[in-house]
Amino acid sequence: MNYELVIGLETHVELNTQSKIFCSCGGHSSPKEANDCVCPACSGMPGMLPVMNKRVVELAVTAGLMLNCEISRYTTFDKKNYYYPDLPCAYQITQLNHPICTNGLVSVGKRDIRIKQIHMEEDAGKLVHEGKFSFVDFNRTSVPLIEIVTQPDFRSAEEVVAYLTKLKSMFRSGGISECEEGAMRCDINISVRPEGSEEYGVRTKIKNMSSLEAIERAIRYEAQRHIDALEFETEELVQETRRFDDVSGKTFAMRNKETEADYRYFPDANLMPIIIDDEWLEQIKSAKPVAIDEKADAYREAGISEKEIEMLIGNFKISKLLDDVISLGCNAKDSAAWILTDCAGILRKDGLLLSDLDITPEALSLVIKQVAEGKINRAAGKKVLIAVIEDKVDPMEFIKKNSLDAKVDEGAITAVIAKVIEANPTAVADYKGGKEKALQAIFGACMRELKGAGDPATLKSLLEKKLKD
Protein backbone atom coordinates (compact mmCIF):
# COMPACT_ATOMS: atom_id res chain seq x y z
CA MET A 1 0.00 0.00 0.00
CA ASN A 2 1.15 3.53 -0.67
CA TYR A 3 1.17 5.98 2.17
CA GLU A 4 0.86 9.72 2.24
CA LEU A 5 2.92 11.78 4.65
CA VAL A 6 1.12 14.59 6.51
CA ILE A 7 3.19 17.23 8.30
CA GLY A 8 2.46 20.45 10.16
CA LEU A 9 5.15 22.74 11.53
CA GLU A 10 5.50 25.00 14.53
CA THR A 11 8.48 27.25 13.88
CA HIS A 12 10.05 29.54 16.48
CA VAL A 13 11.98 32.48 15.11
CA GLU A 14 14.11 34.79 17.22
CA LEU A 15 13.36 38.41 16.34
CA ASN A 16 16.04 40.91 15.49
CA THR A 17 15.37 43.60 18.14
CA GLN A 18 17.55 45.93 20.18
CA SER A 19 16.03 44.81 23.48
CA LYS A 20 14.06 41.96 25.01
CA ILE A 21 10.31 41.65 24.61
CA PHE A 22 9.18 43.02 28.00
CA CYS A 23 12.23 44.84 29.41
CA SER A 24 15.04 47.04 28.17
CA CYS A 25 17.80 44.44 28.48
CA GLY A 26 20.06 44.60 25.43
CA GLY A 27 19.99 42.40 22.37
CA HIS A 28 20.40 38.67 22.55
CA SER A 29 23.66 38.51 20.65
CA SER A 30 25.63 40.79 22.95
CA PRO A 31 26.07 38.78 26.17
CA LYS A 32 29.45 37.14 26.57
CA GLU A 33 29.01 35.56 29.97
CA ALA A 34 26.13 33.88 31.78
CA ASN A 35 23.59 36.32 33.24
CA ASP A 36 25.22 39.49 31.93
CA CYS A 37 22.09 40.48 30.03
CA VAL A 38 19.59 40.22 32.86
CA CYS A 39 17.47 42.62 34.91
CA PRO A 40 14.96 42.15 37.75
CA ALA A 41 12.16 41.80 35.17
CA CYS A 42 13.58 39.03 33.02
CA SER A 43 14.88 37.15 36.05
CA GLY A 44 11.44 37.00 37.64
CA MET A 45 11.92 39.19 40.69
CA PRO A 46 8.81 40.37 42.50
CA GLY A 47 7.64 43.91 41.85
CA MET A 48 8.67 44.08 38.19
CA LEU A 49 6.05 44.40 35.49
CA PRO A 50 6.34 43.52 31.81
CA VAL A 51 6.29 46.50 29.43
CA MET A 52 5.65 45.72 25.77
CA ASN A 53 8.44 46.31 23.25
CA LYS A 54 6.64 47.92 20.28
CA ARG A 55 9.26 46.79 17.82
CA VAL A 56 8.32 43.15 18.50
CA VAL A 57 4.75 43.89 17.44
CA GLU A 58 5.98 45.58 14.27
CA LEU A 59 8.27 42.74 13.29
CA ALA A 60 5.55 40.15 13.99
CA VAL A 61 3.11 42.11 11.82
CA THR A 62 5.74 42.42 9.08
CA ALA A 63 6.26 38.65 9.16
CA GLY A 64 2.49 38.22 8.96
CA LEU A 65 2.26 40.53 5.96
CA MET A 66 5.03 38.58 4.21
CA LEU A 67 3.12 35.35 4.82
CA ASN A 68 -0.16 36.87 3.58
CA CYS A 69 -1.81 36.69 7.01
CA GLU A 70 -4.75 38.58 8.41
CA ILE A 71 -3.43 41.04 10.97
CA SER A 72 -5.37 41.13 14.24
CA ARG A 73 -6.34 44.65 15.22
CA TYR A 74 -6.82 43.49 18.83
CA THR A 75 -4.21 41.18 20.25
CA THR A 76 -3.63 39.97 23.82
CA PHE A 77 -1.14 37.99 25.87
CA ASP A 78 -1.71 34.90 27.98
CA LYS A 79 0.33 33.16 30.63
CA LYS A 80 1.37 29.54 30.20
CA ASN A 81 2.17 27.90 33.52
CA TYR A 82 4.86 25.30 34.12
CA TYR A 83 7.70 24.82 36.56
CA TYR A 84 11.24 24.63 35.26
CA PRO A 85 14.31 26.38 36.69
CA ASP A 86 15.08 28.11 33.38
CA LEU A 87 11.67 29.81 33.50
CA PRO A 88 12.10 32.40 36.27
CA CYS A 89 8.43 33.34 36.76
CA ALA A 90 7.27 29.71 36.31
CA TYR A 91 5.10 30.97 33.47
CA GLN A 92 5.81 31.98 29.89
CA ILE A 93 4.07 35.00 28.40
CA THR A 94 2.64 33.94 25.05
CA GLN A 95 -0.50 34.38 22.96
CA LEU A 96 -3.31 31.85 22.94
CA ASN A 97 -6.67 33.51 22.42
CA HIS A 98 -5.92 36.52 20.23
CA PRO A 99 -2.69 35.87 18.29
CA ILE A 100 -1.29 38.74 16.24
CA CYS A 101 -1.63 37.11 12.80
CA THR A 102 -3.94 34.40 11.45
CA ASN A 103 -4.90 32.66 8.21
CA GLY A 104 -1.84 33.13 6.06
CA LEU A 105 -0.67 31.36 2.96
CA VAL A 106 2.75 30.69 1.51
CA SER A 107 3.61 28.73 -1.63
CA VAL A 108 6.38 26.20 -1.67
CA GLY A 109 6.89 25.00 -5.21
CA LYS A 110 3.45 23.90 -6.32
CA ARG A 111 2.15 23.40 -2.78
CA ASP A 112 0.20 26.03 -0.87
CA ILE A 113 0.95 25.92 2.84
CA ARG A 114 -1.73 27.52 5.00
CA ILE A 115 -0.49 29.43 8.03
CA LYS A 116 -2.82 28.90 10.98
CA GLN A 117 -1.37 31.68 13.08
CA ILE A 118 1.67 33.65 14.14
CA HIS A 119 1.99 34.57 17.79
CA MET A 120 4.51 36.48 19.88
CA GLU A 121 6.14 35.01 22.98
CA GLU A 122 9.20 35.15 25.20
CA ASP A 123 12.02 32.64 25.17
CA ALA A 124 13.13 30.74 28.30
CA GLY A 125 16.61 30.72 29.81
CA LYS A 126 19.11 27.92 29.78
CA LEU A 127 20.47 25.38 32.25
CA VAL A 128 24.14 24.53 32.42
CA HIS A 129 25.04 21.27 34.13
CA GLU A 130 28.46 20.84 35.66
CA GLY A 131 29.12 17.73 37.71
CA LYS A 132 26.54 17.48 40.44
CA PHE A 133 25.54 21.14 40.08
CA SER A 134 23.19 22.87 37.70
CA PHE A 135 23.41 26.56 36.89
CA VAL A 136 20.79 28.87 35.44
CA ASP A 137 21.58 31.42 32.73
CA PHE A 138 18.81 33.98 32.15
CA ASN A 139 20.45 35.76 29.20
CA ARG A 140 17.92 34.22 26.85
CA THR A 141 14.82 34.70 29.01
CA SER A 142 12.40 37.15 27.43
CA VAL A 143 14.23 37.22 24.11
CA PRO A 144 11.40 37.89 21.64
CA LEU A 145 10.17 35.05 19.46
CA ILE A 146 7.42 34.56 16.96
CA GLU A 147 5.93 31.12 16.51
CA ILE A 148 4.56 30.34 13.08
CA VAL A 149 2.05 27.50 13.10
CA THR A 150 1.07 25.88 9.81
CA GLN A 151 -1.86 23.65 8.97
CA PRO A 152 -0.93 20.00 8.23
CA ASP A 153 -0.29 20.83 4.58
CA PHE A 154 3.18 19.41 3.91
CA ARG A 155 3.38 16.09 2.06
CA SER A 156 7.14 15.52 1.97
CA ALA A 157 10.40 16.28 3.75
CA GLU A 158 11.53 18.28 0.70
CA GLU A 159 8.54 20.61 1.04
CA VAL A 160 9.38 21.20 4.70
CA VAL A 161 12.98 22.03 3.87
CA ALA A 162 11.92 24.29 0.99
CA TYR A 163 9.46 26.09 3.29
CA LEU A 164 12.06 26.67 6.00
CA THR A 165 14.61 27.84 3.44
CA LYS A 166 12.06 30.29 2.11
CA LEU A 167 11.21 31.56 5.60
CA LYS A 168 14.88 32.07 6.32
CA SER A 169 15.59 34.12 3.25
CA MET A 170 12.34 36.06 3.67
CA PHE A 171 13.07 36.93 7.29
CA ARG A 172 16.68 37.79 6.55
CA SER A 173 15.79 40.03 3.64
CA GLY A 174 12.99 41.57 5.70
CA GLY A 175 15.25 42.35 8.66
CA ILE A 176 12.93 40.29 10.87
CA SER A 177 15.50 37.79 12.05
CA GLU A 178 19.13 37.04 11.44
CA CYS A 179 18.09 33.38 11.36
CA GLU A 180 21.58 32.40 12.45
CA GLU A 181 22.33 28.94 13.84
CA GLY A 182 19.66 28.00 16.37
CA ALA A 183 17.60 31.18 15.89
CA MET A 184 15.00 29.19 13.99
CA ARG A 185 13.69 26.08 15.71
CA CYS A 186 10.95 23.70 14.69
CA ASP A 187 8.52 21.28 16.21
CA ILE A 188 7.41 18.82 13.55
CA ASN A 189 3.98 17.21 13.76
CA ILE A 190 3.94 14.14 11.60
CA SER A 191 1.54 11.34 10.67
CA VAL A 192 0.97 9.01 7.71
CA ARG A 193 -2.20 7.70 6.11
CA PRO A 194 -3.06 5.39 3.22
CA GLU A 195 -3.01 7.31 -0.03
CA GLY A 196 -6.46 8.67 -0.81
CA SER A 197 -7.59 8.56 2.80
CA GLU A 198 -9.11 11.73 4.26
CA GLU A 199 -8.56 10.80 7.89
CA TYR A 200 -5.38 11.69 9.73
CA GLY A 201 -3.26 8.95 11.27
CA VAL A 202 -1.76 8.94 14.78
CA ARG A 203 0.38 12.05 15.15
CA THR A 204 3.76 12.36 16.81
CA LYS A 205 5.71 15.51 17.46
CA ILE A 206 9.47 15.82 17.04
CA LYS A 207 10.60 18.71 19.18
CA ASN A 208 13.23 21.39 18.92
CA MET A 209 14.89 20.80 15.55
CA SER A 210 17.09 23.43 13.99
CA SER A 211 19.37 22.10 11.24
CA LEU A 212 17.66 21.58 7.89
CA GLU A 213 19.71 18.49 7.24
CA ALA A 214 18.66 16.92 10.56
CA ILE A 215 15.03 17.91 9.93
CA GLU A 216 15.04 16.07 6.63
CA ARG A 217 16.58 12.95 8.18
CA ALA A 218 14.22 13.05 11.17
CA ILE A 219 11.15 13.27 8.95
CA ARG A 220 12.31 10.39 6.76
CA TYR A 221 13.06 8.22 9.78
CA GLU A 222 9.81 9.05 11.55
CA ALA A 223 7.69 8.54 8.42
CA GLN A 224 9.23 5.12 7.88
CA ARG A 225 8.63 4.23 11.53
CA HIS A 226 4.94 5.13 11.15
CA ILE A 227 4.63 3.17 7.88
CA ASP A 228 6.36 0.13 9.38
CA ALA A 229 4.04 0.26 12.36
CA LEU A 230 0.99 0.30 10.09
CA GLU A 231 2.27 -2.10 7.47
CA PHE A 232 4.12 -4.66 9.56
CA GLU A 233 2.69 -3.94 13.01
CA THR A 234 6.19 -3.44 14.37
CA GLU A 235 4.81 -1.33 17.19
CA GLU A 236 1.69 0.48 18.26
CA LEU A 237 1.75 4.18 17.40
CA VAL A 238 0.81 6.57 20.20
CA GLN A 239 0.41 10.30 20.18
CA GLU A 240 3.56 11.53 21.89
CA THR A 241 6.46 13.93 21.81
CA ARG A 242 9.77 12.62 20.49
CA ARG A 243 13.33 13.74 20.23
CA PHE A 244 15.65 13.17 17.27
CA ASP A 245 19.05 11.75 18.04
CA ASP A 246 21.51 13.14 15.52
CA VAL A 247 24.08 10.39 15.99
CA SER A 248 21.87 7.32 15.57
CA GLY A 249 19.48 9.11 13.19
CA LYS A 250 16.50 7.80 15.17
CA THR A 251 13.70 9.41 17.16
CA PHE A 252 12.97 8.50 20.76
CA ALA A 253 9.94 9.11 22.95
CA MET A 254 10.64 11.84 25.48
CA ARG A 255 10.23 10.75 29.06
CA ASN A 256 8.43 13.82 30.28
CA LYS A 257 4.67 13.93 30.25
CA GLU A 258 4.49 17.13 28.28
CA THR A 259 1.64 15.97 26.07
CA GLU A 260 -0.57 15.52 29.12
CA ALA A 261 0.51 18.67 30.95
CA ASP A 262 -2.18 21.22 31.69
CA TYR A 263 -0.57 24.60 31.18
CA ARG A 264 -3.51 26.45 32.77
CA TYR A 265 -3.36 29.25 30.20
CA PHE A 266 -5.11 32.47 31.21
CA PRO A 267 -4.97 36.16 30.21
CA ASP A 268 -2.04 38.24 31.44
CA ALA A 269 -3.55 41.18 33.33
CA ASN A 270 -0.24 43.07 33.38
CA LEU A 271 -0.28 43.64 29.63
CA MET A 272 -3.14 45.66 28.22
CA PRO A 273 -4.60 44.47 24.91
CA ILE A 274 -2.64 45.88 21.97
CA ILE A 275 -4.76 47.77 19.47
CA ILE A 276 -3.30 48.02 15.98
CA ASP A 277 -5.11 50.93 14.35
CA ASP A 278 -5.11 51.87 10.65
CA GLU A 279 -2.37 54.43 11.08
CA TRP A 280 0.03 52.05 12.78
CA LEU A 281 -0.71 49.26 10.33
CA GLU A 282 -0.08 51.58 7.39
CA GLN A 283 3.19 52.67 8.97
CA ILE A 284 4.30 49.06 9.31
CA LYS A 285 3.14 48.28 5.78
CA SER A 286 5.05 51.17 4.26
CA ALA A 287 8.22 50.23 6.14
CA LYS A 288 7.84 46.58 5.15
CA PRO A 289 10.34 45.38 2.61
CA VAL A 290 8.64 44.05 -0.52
CA ALA A 291 7.74 40.38 -0.09
CA ILE A 292 10.34 38.10 -1.47
CA ASP A 293 8.21 36.74 -4.33
CA GLU A 294 7.10 40.19 -5.43
CA LYS A 295 10.64 41.43 -5.20
CA ALA A 296 12.03 38.56 -7.27
CA ASP A 297 9.31 39.17 -9.84
CA ALA A 298 10.14 42.86 -9.98
CA TYR A 299 13.83 42.09 -10.53
CA ARG A 300 12.94 39.52 -13.18
CA GLU A 301 10.81 42.06 -14.98
CA ALA A 302 13.67 44.54 -14.95
CA GLY A 303 15.75 41.99 -16.84
CA ILE A 304 17.95 40.87 -13.96
CA SER A 305 19.13 37.28 -14.42
CA GLU A 306 17.95 34.39 -12.25
CA LYS A 307 21.47 33.91 -10.93
CA GLU A 308 21.65 37.55 -9.91
CA ILE A 309 18.19 37.41 -8.31
CA GLU A 310 19.34 34.48 -6.23
CA MET A 311 22.30 36.51 -5.01
CA LEU A 312 20.11 39.51 -4.21
CA ILE A 313 17.28 37.76 -2.38
CA GLY A 314 18.52 36.72 0.99
CA ASN A 315 21.05 39.52 1.17
CA PHE A 316 19.07 42.32 2.71
CA LYS A 317 21.92 44.83 2.63
CA ILE A 318 22.78 44.32 -1.01
CA SER A 319 19.22 44.18 -2.32
CA LYS A 320 18.52 47.36 -0.39
CA LEU A 321 21.55 49.02 -1.97
CA LEU A 322 20.27 48.01 -5.39
CA ASP A 323 16.78 49.30 -4.61
CA ASP A 324 18.24 52.58 -3.40
CA VAL A 325 20.38 52.99 -6.50
CA ILE A 326 17.38 52.25 -8.72
CA SER A 327 15.31 54.78 -6.82
CA LEU A 328 18.07 57.33 -7.52
CA GLY A 329 17.33 56.90 -11.19
CA CYS A 330 19.70 54.14 -12.33
CA ASN A 331 18.75 51.32 -14.66
CA ALA A 332 17.98 48.12 -12.70
CA LYS A 333 19.77 45.65 -14.92
CA ASP A 334 22.91 47.82 -15.26
CA SER A 335 22.99 48.51 -11.54
CA ALA A 336 22.68 44.83 -10.67
CA ALA A 337 25.68 44.10 -12.91
CA TRP A 338 27.67 46.94 -11.35
CA ILE A 339 27.01 45.61 -7.86
CA LEU A 340 27.11 41.88 -8.37
CA THR A 341 29.94 41.74 -10.91
CA ASP A 342 32.07 44.87 -10.58
CA CYS A 343 31.77 45.61 -6.86
CA ALA A 344 31.98 41.91 -6.00
CA GLY A 345 35.07 41.57 -8.18
CA ILE A 346 36.81 44.50 -6.55
CA LEU A 347 36.07 43.09 -3.08
CA ARG A 348 37.13 39.59 -4.07
CA LYS A 349 40.60 40.85 -4.97
CA ASP A 350 40.91 42.10 -1.39
CA GLY A 351 39.63 38.79 -0.03
CA LEU A 352 36.29 40.34 0.96
CA LEU A 353 32.70 39.29 0.42
CA LEU A 354 29.88 41.22 -1.18
CA SER A 355 28.31 41.67 2.25
CA ASP A 356 31.42 43.67 3.23
CA LEU A 357 30.61 46.24 0.56
CA ASP A 358 30.82 49.75 1.95
CA ILE A 359 29.55 52.32 -0.53
CA THR A 360 26.72 54.83 -0.35
CA PRO A 361 23.88 54.51 -2.83
CA GLU A 362 24.58 58.12 -3.86
CA ALA A 363 28.23 57.49 -4.77
CA LEU A 364 27.41 54.28 -6.61
CA SER A 365 24.57 55.88 -8.53
CA LEU A 366 26.88 58.72 -9.62
CA VAL A 367 29.35 56.27 -11.11
CA ILE A 368 26.61 54.29 -12.86
CA LYS A 369 25.02 57.44 -14.27
CA GLN A 370 28.28 58.90 -15.52
CA VAL A 371 28.80 55.77 -17.57
CA ALA A 372 25.17 55.40 -18.67
CA GLU A 373 25.10 59.00 -19.87
CA GLY A 374 28.29 58.47 -21.83
CA LYS A 375 30.21 61.04 -19.82
CA ILE A 376 32.91 58.48 -19.10
CA ASN A 377 33.33 55.04 -20.57
CA ARG A 378 32.79 51.81 -18.68
CA ALA A 379 36.46 51.07 -18.10
CA ALA A 380 36.86 54.52 -16.58
CA GLY A 381 33.76 53.87 -14.52
CA LYS A 382 35.36 50.78 -13.08
CA LYS A 383 38.48 52.79 -12.18
CA VAL A 384 36.29 55.29 -10.32
CA LEU A 385 34.46 52.49 -8.53
CA ILE A 386 37.71 50.94 -7.29
CA ALA A 387 38.84 54.30 -5.97
CA VAL A 388 35.49 54.91 -4.28
CA ILE A 389 35.40 51.49 -2.60
CA GLU A 390 39.04 51.22 -1.64
CA ASP A 391 40.01 54.81 -0.92
CA LYS A 392 36.61 56.32 -0.14
CA VAL A 393 37.18 59.13 -2.66
CA ASP A 394 34.49 61.38 -4.03
CA PRO A 395 33.63 59.99 -7.49
CA MET A 396 33.20 63.36 -9.23
CA GLU A 397 36.48 64.73 -7.88
CA PHE A 398 38.27 61.56 -8.92
CA ILE A 399 36.88 61.80 -12.47
CA LYS A 400 37.97 65.46 -12.79
CA LYS A 401 41.38 64.87 -11.28
CA ASN A 402 42.16 62.08 -13.70
CA SER A 403 40.46 63.79 -16.68
CA LEU A 404 38.40 60.67 -17.26
CA ASP A 405 35.64 62.79 -18.70
CA ALA A 406 37.95 64.42 -21.26
CA LYS A 407 35.78 65.16 -24.23
CA VAL A 408 36.88 63.16 -27.22
CA ASP A 409 34.99 64.31 -30.27
CA GLU A 410 34.15 62.24 -33.30
CA GLY A 411 36.91 63.91 -35.31
CA ALA A 412 39.57 62.81 -32.86
CA ILE A 413 38.14 59.29 -32.80
CA THR A 414 38.04 59.15 -36.58
CA ALA A 415 41.67 60.25 -36.69
CA VAL A 416 42.67 57.53 -34.25
CA ILE A 417 40.73 54.94 -36.29
CA ALA A 418 42.51 55.93 -39.46
CA LYS A 419 45.86 55.70 -37.67
CA VAL A 420 45.11 52.23 -36.23
CA ILE A 421 43.78 50.82 -39.51
CA GLU A 422 46.94 51.94 -41.21
CA ALA A 423 49.10 50.36 -38.55
CA ASN A 424 47.22 47.00 -38.55
CA PRO A 425 46.73 45.95 -42.16
CA THR A 426 46.64 42.21 -41.29
CA ALA A 427 43.85 42.54 -38.77
CA VAL A 428 41.87 44.72 -41.13
CA ALA A 429 42.31 42.19 -43.91
CA ASP A 430 41.27 39.35 -41.58
CA TYR A 431 38.13 41.21 -40.61
CA LYS A 432 37.25 42.02 -44.17
CA GLY A 433 37.86 38.35 -44.97
CA GLY A 434 35.11 37.36 -42.50
CA LYS A 435 37.00 36.98 -39.22
CA GLU A 436 34.66 38.76 -36.82
CA LYS A 437 37.12 38.36 -33.98
CA ALA A 438 39.61 40.62 -35.63
CA LEU A 439 37.36 43.58 -34.96
CA GLN A 440 37.99 43.19 -31.25
CA ALA A 441 41.71 43.52 -31.71
CA ILE A 442 41.35 46.67 -33.83
CA PHE A 443 38.88 48.11 -31.32
CA GLY A 444 41.29 47.39 -28.44
CA ALA A 445 44.10 49.10 -30.28
CA CYS A 446 41.92 52.20 -30.80
CA MET A 447 41.02 52.27 -27.10
CA ARG A 448 44.69 52.08 -26.14
CA GLU A 449 45.41 54.93 -28.50
CA LEU A 450 42.58 56.95 -26.92
CA LYS A 451 44.01 56.14 -23.46
CA GLY A 452 40.67 54.92 -22.17
CA ALA A 453 38.82 58.13 -22.93
CA GLY A 454 36.11 58.35 -25.56
CA ASP A 455 32.77 56.67 -25.75
CA PRO A 456 33.14 52.99 -26.69
CA ALA A 457 29.78 52.93 -28.45
CA THR A 458 30.69 55.85 -30.67
CA LEU A 459 34.07 54.31 -31.36
CA LYS A 460 32.48 50.98 -32.27
CA SER A 461 29.97 52.41 -34.69
CA LEU A 462 32.53 54.70 -36.33
CA LEU A 463 34.99 51.82 -36.60
CA GLU A 464 32.45 49.45 -38.19
CA LYS A 465 31.38 52.17 -40.60
CA LYS A 466 34.97 52.86 -41.59
CA LEU A 467 35.77 49.16 -42.09
CA LYS A 468 32.71 48.60 -44.27
CA ASP A 469 33.80 51.40 -46.62
Residues making contact with other proteins (CB under 8 A): 40, 43-52, 79, 81, 83, 85, 88-91, 134, 136, 262, 264-272
Say if CB 332 and CB 368 are below 8 A apart: no
Query: Cα(407)–Cα(324) distance, rounded to whole angstroms?
Result: 30
- Nearest residue (CB) to other proteins, 48 versus 393: 48
Handedness of CA 396, 398, 403, 408 (dihedral sign): negative
**Smallest separation, CB 54 to other proteins (Å):** 12
User: C-alpha distances in angstroms, 74 versus 104, 167, 219, 327, 461?
Assistant: 17, 25, 37, 36, 66
- Nearest residue (CB) to other proteins, 83 versus 232: 83
Q: What DSSP assignment string belongs to 266-282? A: EE-TTSPPEE--HHHHH
- Nearest residue (CB) to other proteins, 134 versus 461: 134
Phi and psi at 297, nearest 5°, equal: -60, -45
For the chain, what's the residue count? 469
Paired residues of 193 in beta bridges: 4
Say if CB 178 and CB 27 are below 8 A apart: no
Beta strands in 15-73 (DSSP E): 70-71
- Nearest residue (CB) to other proteins, 1 versus 269: 269
**Smallest separation, CB 43 to other proteins (Å):** 7
- Nearest residue (CB) to other proteins, 224 versus 259: 259
Say if CB 37 and CB 30 are below 8 A apart: yes
- Nearest residue (CB) to other proteins, 52 versus 396: 52
Q: What is the DSSP letter of 157?
A: H
Element (H, E) at 199: none
Nearest to 147 by CA among 12, 50, 278: 12
**Smallest separation, CB 66 to other proteins (Å):** 28
**Smallest separation, CB 258 to other proteins (Å):** 14
Identity of the residue numbered 269: A
3-state secondary structure of 173: helix
Query: Cα(159)–Cα(224) distance, rounded to whole angstroms?
Result: 17
Query: Cα(184)–Cα(276) distance, rounded to whole angstroms?
Result: 26
- Nearest residue (CB) to other proteins, 44 versus 452: 44
**Smallest separation, CB 59 to other proteins (Å):** 19
**Smallest separation, CB 21 to other proteins (Å):** 12
Query: Cα(330)–Cα(440) distance, rounded to whole angstroms?
Result: 29
- Nearest residue (CB) to other proteins, 96 versus 212: 96
- Nearest residue (CB) to other proteins, 110 versus 129: 129
Paired residues of 451 in beta bridges: none
**Residue 305 region by backbone torsions, left for phi larger than 0, else alpha for psi between -120 and 50, else beta:** beta
- Nearest residue (CB) to other proteins, 120 versus 148: 120
Residue 326 CB partners (closer than 8 Å, separation 6+): 302, 332, 335
- Nearest residue (CB) to other proteins, 96 versus 393: 96
For the beta sheet containing 111-122, the strands, ordered from the edge strand earlier in sequence to the opposite edge, are 70-71, 101-108, 111-122, 144-150, 3-14, 184-194, 204-209, 240-245, 250-253
Paired residues of 102 in beta bridges: 70, 117
